[in-house]
Amino acid sequence: MREVNIKYSQNYLHNEALVKELIGKSNIGNNDVVYEIGAGKGIITQQLALSCKKVISFEYDSQLSTHLKHRFESNPNIEIINSDFLQYVFKDYLYCKFFSNIPFNITAELMMKVLELKGVKDIYFIMQYEAFLKYAGSPYYRDCFKSLQYKPFYIMEILHEFSPTDFSPVPKARIILAHIYPRINTDICKREKDNYLDFLSFMFLENGSSFKDKSKRIFSYEQVKRISKDYSISLDSSLLDLTIQQWNCIFQVYLNYVSAEKKTMVDGSFKYLKGEQSKLEKIHKNRR
């Protein structure tokens, strides 16, 4: 028996009518180019091809990829790419949409890559509910660093919740279809995105457990008191107690009233935090 890397294993949908219904809930239309990650046996690929201009499907498994190429060789609007999506290099702007039953074990890596691509209009991911919560935050769940990282720029919602028997093999986790799409109007403009991520990372990296402790090296005592009063933030609040609206307001205070000298402390914090997270992930994987 051929060994399959669990990293790329999937739970496959097996009901064509359900797939057709799910695509019908999306805003995918005849003029859209749609990328699919993990085409598997092609059940989603086939239905997408009936609804859009072109489907570009990635399948890492070489045998499945060969099977798909033969199956769809007469379909001019289907392209099968036998490649690791995470390693694939895209052009600057894609002007596309995504619809995928993603491999659950690499959800974090896929989300990080797709959410950083330029020109993506809509993302429809079949994913684990618990993973979705980390990215969506409020109103589904308490906001955390991951949700705060993306929420100023994306809207995330649940379109469908699956029954475990919709998949083969049957998953143990709760599975949903998520719709993720860019905000038209953002409180944080794109040119300030890097500054926002550095600021957010710095706050989470700082010692202490309260907003007062976390912010004392950036803001003056008077600034902290004013922020607390103007935006109804308790000085003893945890960073996880703050809403995205409060974070937006605090960030604007940081941009407009914190000295350039203090801002140098914050520069590069996001890159540093990603590096630390990467080290922890490698340690975790090596212990499996």
H helices within the chain, ranges in order? 16-25, 43-49, 62-71, 107-116, 129-136, 145-150, 193-205, 211-215, 221-230, 244-257, 260-266, 269-286
Judge if 177 and 194 occupy the same domain. no
Which CATH number goes with the domain that contains 130? Answer: 3.40.50.150
pTM of the model: 0.90
Considering only residues 3 and 194, tell me which one the structure prediction assigns the higher pLDDT. 194
* Domain-embedded: residue 150: yes
* Domain-embedded: residue 1: no
* Domain-embedded: residue 26: yes
Judge if 80 and 207 occupy the same domain. no
Number of domains in the chain: 2
CA dist 152 → 108, 155, 159, 186, 228 (Å): 19, 8, 21, 6, 21
* Cis, bond preceding 152 (omega within 30 deg of 0): no
Judge if 140 and 208 occupy the same domain. no
pLDDT (tens digit per residue) in 39-90: 998 999 999 999 999 999 999 999 999 999 999 999 999 999 999 999 999 8
Judge if 75 and 126 occupy the same domain. yes
Judge if 12 and 143 occupy the same domain. yes
List the structure tokens of 72.
Answer: 């769809």
The CA distance from 1 to 4, in Å, is: 9
Instruction: Answer whether residue 1 shows pLDDT above 50.
Output: no
**Pick from 128, 159, 182: which residue ends a domain?**
182
Count CA atoms closer than 13 A to 20's CA, side-chain side: 4
* Domain-embedded: residue 238: yes
pLDDT (tens digit per residue) in 169-211: 999 999 999 999 999 988 888 899 999 999 999 999 999 999 9
Judge if 125 and 257 occupy the same domain. no
Judge if 141 and 215 occupy the same domain. no
- Return the closest-CA partner of residue 27 out of 167, 121, 135: 121
**Pick from 151, 182, 213: which residue ends a domain?**
182
The CA distance from 120 to 114, in Å, is: 8
Judge if 99 and 30 occupy the same domain. yes
Judge if 33 and 145 occupy the same domain. yes
* Domain-embedded: residue 69: yes
Judge if 120 and 263 occupy the same domain. no
Instruction: Answer whether residue 260 shows pLDDT above 80.
Output: yes
* Domain-embedded: residue 227: yes
- Return the closest-CA partner of residue 216 out of 190, 174, 207: 207
- Domain extent, residue 241, equals 190-286
Amino acid identity for residue 95 in this structure: Y
* Domain-embedded: residue 19: yes
Instruction: Answer whether residue 165 shows pLDDT above 70.
Output: yes
pLDDT bracket for residue 286 (50, 70, 90): low
* Domain-embedded: residue 198: yes
Judge if 169 and 212 occupy the same domain. no
Q: Are 134 and 148 in contact (CB under 8 A)?
A: no
Judge if 120 and 200 occupy the same domain. no
**Pick from 182, 206, 239: which residue ends a domain?**
182
- Return the closest-CA partner of residue 253 out of 280, 210, 279, 222: 222
